[in-house]
C-alpha cells in the first residue's frame, strides 16, 4: 500500500476511535483503497514466563501476616500489614478518631448520608464493647448503603439513561439496571454472581427479568441507533463493550489492542477480538431501535474476525472465542468450558463468566478489593484501579492486596464482609489530623500519607453533598427506585438542550429524591454533580477527578438549590429550637455532626444580630428576604432571614464538604 494510503488509514483509525470515545457523531467518510495484501492468519507474540512474573498476573495466594511490635494496636490482619510498614519507617499511627468523628466518617462512607444527632448521641453514649460493630451492622443493613455503593459501580458501568451523541435519546428502561445494582449491593449478592449475571444473566437465569436487566452493564455505553451503517454501529458497540469488560472487571486496558497489539502489555490484537467474539452473538441491532440487554437467539452463531487496524470494513483472520492468554496460565481451552444452556444459545458468555470468577483467577478478586479499598481511603492499594498492566502503578502494599483478594474469596465473595474487615481495622479508625509536633518528622517519610499513618481527609462527591444538604434540612425524600426524576434546572441551562430533553418533574417530592435517582442524561450533568467532578458516562470511570474550581464555591453559595436547602433548614431549626442558642447548636449538629465550640457559638450569635439588623436597616420587605420554607409570618422576618444566611454559611464550610 502506498505511503499516503497508510497515512489515510491512521487518520481514519484515530478519527473513529476519538469520535466514538467523546460521544461525537461519526461522519461518513469516502471509500478507501483496500487492495493491499493483509495477513490471512493471526500472528502474535507468545506469552512468556517473564510476562507472567508481573505482579498482577501471578497466581493468587495468601501471604503470611507480618510480625509487629505493637500487637495491641492491631485489631485485624489489615493492621498487621499497615503497622509493619509504619514500624519499618519508624512511624507510629495516629490515635483513634473521636466517636463523633468516627460515626460521621462511617455513615457518609457507607451510606452517603450524614448521621442524625440522635444517631450520634446513641453511639457516643454507648460504652459497650461491641458498640462499633453493631453500628457497622446497622449501617450495612440500611437501604441507603446500596444507594451509596451502587454509584461507585455505575461510574464503572458508564451508566446513563440516554444514548448520548447529538440526539441523546432517552433509554426508557435504563433505570432498571440502576435499581438492580442497588438491590445487589443491599442483598450482598456475592461478587462472583454479581459479575456472572451482568455478563450472562439471560443464559444463567432465563426468563428472569432481573437477570436480563443485569446484562445492561454490557450495553450501558453511548450508542447511535440512527447511524447509517448498522455494521459500523455493531463494531463500535462491541469494541466499547469489550474494552469496558477488560478495564472494569480485569483491570486491563485491553481496549488499546483493538487496532494493534498493545504497546506495553502482553495483549495482542487477536486477544481483543477473541474476547469480543464471546459477546458478538448477543448483540443484535436494528436501525433506529434501542438495544439495552444482551439478546442471543438460538441458531447459527456468526463468525467473528480480527478487524484489520480496527476498521469495521476490513475483516481479517477469523477470531475464535477464547480466554485472555495472559490471565490463563493453566491454558484452559474455551471449548471445554462451554456447556450450551437450556436457552439454546452458544453458552460463550456463561463460560467466560465462570472462568473469570474462578477462586484463583489472578485478576478478578485483586481488582475489586482494590476498588473497595479505594472508596474507603481515597486511593487504591494500586493507584491505577483499571490498569494493572505494565505501565500501571505498582501496589504500594502488594502482600496486603493479595491477602484481601484471598479473603474475599474465602468469605464467599461477600463485599459486606470486606467492608466489615476494613472499617473494623485500627487503620480505618485513626484520626485524620496529626499533631503539629509530628509533621516535620512525617513529611520526608510519609508526606503523601501513602503508608496510612493517619486517616486521609477526603472531599465528598457532588451527589453526597446534595444529599447531605437535603438530609440536614429534613427535606430528603427516601422513596426508592423507579425512573429517574428531573429536579428544576436553571433556565439558561435548559435552553442548551433540544426541546423537551429536561422535563421538570411535576411532583414536588421528586425534586428532593436521593441523587442516585436524578435523571442521568449523558449530554448534561446536574449542575452540582458536574461542578464536583461527576464523570460524563461516555467511558468507564475508575476514579473521579477531584478539582478545586471557582464554580464549586459559587454554586454552593448562590444556586437556587443551596438557598432552598438553607431556607428549609432554617424552618427546621425554628420549629425544633425556641432560642437562638438552641438553633445554633442544632444547626451545627445537623450540618457538621457536632455541637459548636464556645467561640463558634459566640460568633454565630453575633452574626445573627448583625445580619438581622443589616437586613432591617436596608428596609427589605418579606418578599425580598430569604425566609425559611415554609414561613409563618411574625414580627421579625429579618431575624428569620438571618438564620437562613447562617444555614447557608454552614453548608459552605470546608467541614461540611470534607470528611475527617
Per-residue pLDDT reduced to its tens digit, 248-264: 999 999 999 999 999 99
Task: Note whether residue 631 is domain-resident.
Answer: yes
What is the predicted pLDDT for the residue at 633?
A: 85
Task: Note whether residue 606 is domain-resident.
Answer: yes
Long-range contacts of 63-67 (CB under 8 A, 24+ apart): 63/399, 63/402, 63/403, 65/403, 66/399
28-57 mean pLDDT: 75
Question: pLDDT grade, residue 444 (50/70/90)?
Answer: low
Instruction: Name the H helices within 461-592.
Output: 462-472, 491-494, 527-531, 550-558, 560-576, 580-592
Spatial distance between the Cα atoms of 114 and 471, rounded to a whole number of angstroms: 7
**Is 209 or 438 the better-scoring residue by pLDDT?**
209
Task: Note whether residue 629 is domain-resident.
Answer: yes
Which class for 260: exposed (0-12), middle (13-18), buried (19 or more C-beta within 10 A)? middle
Task: Note whether residue 100 is domain-resident.
Answer: no
pLDDT of 15 over the 60 cut: no
CB 285 within 8 A of CB 254: no
Q: What DSSP line would sit under 417-482, residue for residue?
A: HHHHHHHTSTTTTB-S---HHHHHHHHHHHTT-TT-SSPPPEEPPHHHHHHHHHHHTT--B----S
Question: pLDDT grade, residue 12 (50/70/90)?
Answer: very low
Give me the number of domains the chain comprises: 1
Q: What is the tens place of the pLDDT at every residue in 576-617?
A: 999 999 999 999 999 999 999 999 999 999 999 999 999 999
Q: What DSSP line would sit under 185-230, residue for residue?
A: HHTT--HHHHHHHHHHHHHHSTT-HHHHHHGGGGG-S---TT-S-H
What is the predicted pLDDT for the residue at 248?
A: 98
Spatial distance between the Cα atoms of 570 and 584, rounded to a whole number of angstroms: 10
- Which domain does 614 fall in, by range? 560-659
Q: Across the chain, what does the average pLDDT equal?
A: 92
pLDDT of 440 over the 60 cut: no
Spatial distance between the Cα atoms of 573 and 271, rounded to a whole number of angstroms: 61
The reply to whether omega before 630 is within 30° of 0 (cis) is yes
Which class for 472: exposed (0-12), middle (13-18), buried (19 or more C-beta within 10 A)? buried
Query: Which three cell numbers, joined as nine digits, stand for 611?
Result: 445580619
Question: pLDDT grade, residue 223 (50/70/90)?
Answer: very high
470-498 mean pLDDT: 95
CB 139 within 8 A of CB 112: no
Query: Which three cell numbers, joined as nine digits, stand for 226?
Result: 440512527
Question: pLDDT grade, residue 573 (50/70/90)?
Answer: very high
Q: What is the tens place of the pLDDT at every residue in 379-427?
A: 999 999 999 999 999 999 999 999 999 999 999 999 999 999 999 999 9
pLDDT of 41 over the 90 cut: no
Of the candidates 429, 430, 449, which has an alpha carbon nearest to the alpha carbon of residue 439?
449
The sign of the torsion formed by the CA atoms of 637, 640, 644, 650 equals positive
Q: What is the tens place of the pLDDT at every residue in 82-99?
A: 999 999 999 999 999 999
Contacts of 438 (CB under 8 A, 6+ apart): none
Amino acid at each position: 500500500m502506498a505511503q499516503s494510503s497508510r497515512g489515510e488509514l491512521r487518520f481514519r483509525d484515530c478519527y473513529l476511535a476519538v469520535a466514538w470515545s467523546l460521544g461525537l457523531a461519526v461522519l461518513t467518510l469516502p471509500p478507501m483503497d483496500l487492495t493491499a495484501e493483509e495477513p490471512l492468519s493471526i500472528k502474535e507474540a507468545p506469552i512468556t514466563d517473564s510476562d507472567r512474573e508481573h505482579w498482577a498476573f501471578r497466581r493468587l495466594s495468601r501471604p503470611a501476616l507480618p510480625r509487629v511490635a505493637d500487637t495491641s494496636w492491631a485489631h485485624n490482619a489489615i493492621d498487621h500489614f499497615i503497622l509493619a510498614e509504619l514500624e519499618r519507617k519508624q512511624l507510629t499511627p495516629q490515635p483513634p478518631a473521636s466517636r463523633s468523628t468516627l460515626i460521621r466518617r462511617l455513615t457518609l462512607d457507607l451510606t452517603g448520608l450524614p448521621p442524625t444527632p440522635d444517631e450520634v448521641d446513641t453511639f457516643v453514649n454507648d460504652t459497650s464493647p461491641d458498640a462499633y460493630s453493631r453500628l457497622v451492622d446497622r449501617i450495612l443493613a440500611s437501604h441507603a448503603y446500596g444507594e451509596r455503593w451502587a454509584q461507585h459501580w455505575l461510574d464503572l458501568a458508564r451508566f446513563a439513561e440516554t444514548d448520548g451523541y447529538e440526539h441523546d435519546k432517552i433509554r426508557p428502561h435504563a433505570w432498571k439496571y440502576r435499581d438492580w445494582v442497588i438491590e445487589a449491593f443491599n442483598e450482598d449478592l456475592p461478587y462472583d454472581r454479581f459479575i456472572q449475571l451482568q455478563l450472562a444473566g439471560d443464559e444463567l437465569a432465563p426468563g428472569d427479568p432481573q437477570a436480563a436487566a443485569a446484562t445492561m452493564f454490557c450495553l450501558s455505553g453511548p450508542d447511535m441507533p440512527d447511524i447509517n451503517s448498522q455494521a459500523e454501529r455493531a463494531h463500535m458497540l462491541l469494541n466499547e463493550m469489550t474494552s469496558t469488560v477488560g478495564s472494569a472487571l480485569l483491570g486491563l486496558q485491553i481496549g488499546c489492542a483493538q487496532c494493534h497489539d498493545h504497546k506495553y502489555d502482553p495483549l495482542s490484537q487477536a486477544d481483543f477480538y477473541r474476547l469480543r467474539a464471546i459477546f458478538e452473538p448477543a448483540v443484535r441491532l436494528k436501525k433506529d431501535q434501542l438495544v439495552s440487554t444482551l439478546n442471543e437467539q438460538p441458531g447459527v452463531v456468526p463468525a467473528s474476525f480480527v478487524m484489520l487496524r480496527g476498521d469495521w470494513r476490513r475483516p481479517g483472520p477469523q477470531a475464535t472465542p477464547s480466554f485472555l492468554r495472559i490471565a490463563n496460565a493453566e491454558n484452559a481451552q474455551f471449548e471445554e468450558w462451554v456447556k450450551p444452556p437450556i436457552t439454546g444459545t452458544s453458552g460463550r458468555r456463561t463460560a467466560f463468566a465462570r472462568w473469570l470468577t474462578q477462586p484463583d483467577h489472578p485478576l478478578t478478586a485483586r481488582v475489586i478489593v482494590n476498588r473497595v479499598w479505594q472508596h474507603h481511603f481515597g486511593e487504591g492499594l494500586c493507584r491505577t484501579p483499571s490498569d494493572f498492566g505494565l505501565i500501571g502503578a505498582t501496589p504500594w502494599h502488594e502482600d496486603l492486596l493479595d491477602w484481601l483478594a484471598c479473603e474475599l474469596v474465602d468469605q464467599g465473595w461477600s463485599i459486606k464482609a470486606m467492608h466489615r474487615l476494613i472499617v473494623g481495622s485500627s487503620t480505618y479508625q485513626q484520626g485524620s489530623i496529626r499533631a503539629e509536633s509530628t509533621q516535620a518528622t512525617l513529611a520526608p517519610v510519609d508526606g503523601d500519607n501513602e503508608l496510612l499513618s493517619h486517616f486521609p481527609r477526603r472531599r465528598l462527591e457532588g451527589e453526597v453533598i446534595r444529599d447531605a444538604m437535603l438530609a440536614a434540612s429534613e427535606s430528603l425524600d427516601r422513596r426508592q427506585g423507579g425512573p429517574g426524576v428531573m429536579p428544576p434546572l436553571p433556565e439558561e441551562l435548559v435552553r442548551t438542550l433540544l426541546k423537551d430533553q429536561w422535563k421538570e418533574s411535576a411532583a414536588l417530592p421528586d425534586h428532593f429524591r436521593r441523587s442516585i435517582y436524578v435523571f442521568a442524561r449523558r449530554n448534561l450533568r446536574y449542575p452540582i454533580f458536574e461542578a464536583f467532578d461527576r464523570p460524563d458516562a461516555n467511558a468507564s470511570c475508575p476514579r473521579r477527578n477531584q478539582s478545586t474550581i471557582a464554580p464549586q464555591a459559587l454554586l454552593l453559595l448562590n444556586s437556587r438549590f443551596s438557598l432552598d436547602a438553607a431556607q428549609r433548614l432554617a424552618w427546621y431549626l425554628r420549629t425544633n429550637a425556641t432560642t437562638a442558642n438552641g438553633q445554633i447548636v442544632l444547626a451545627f449538629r445537623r450540618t457538621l455532626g457536632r455541637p459548636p465550640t464556645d467561640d463558634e457559638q459566640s460568633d454565630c450569635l453575633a452574626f445573627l444580630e448583625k445580619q438581622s439588623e443589616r437586613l432591617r436597616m436596608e428596609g427589605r420587605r418579606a418578599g425580598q428576604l430569604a425566609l425559611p420554607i415554609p414561613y409563618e409570618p411574625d414580627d421579625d422576618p429579618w431575624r428569620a432571614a438571618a438564620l437562613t444566611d447562617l444555614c447557608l454559611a454552614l453548608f459552605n464550610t470546608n467541614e461540611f464538604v470534607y470528611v475527617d
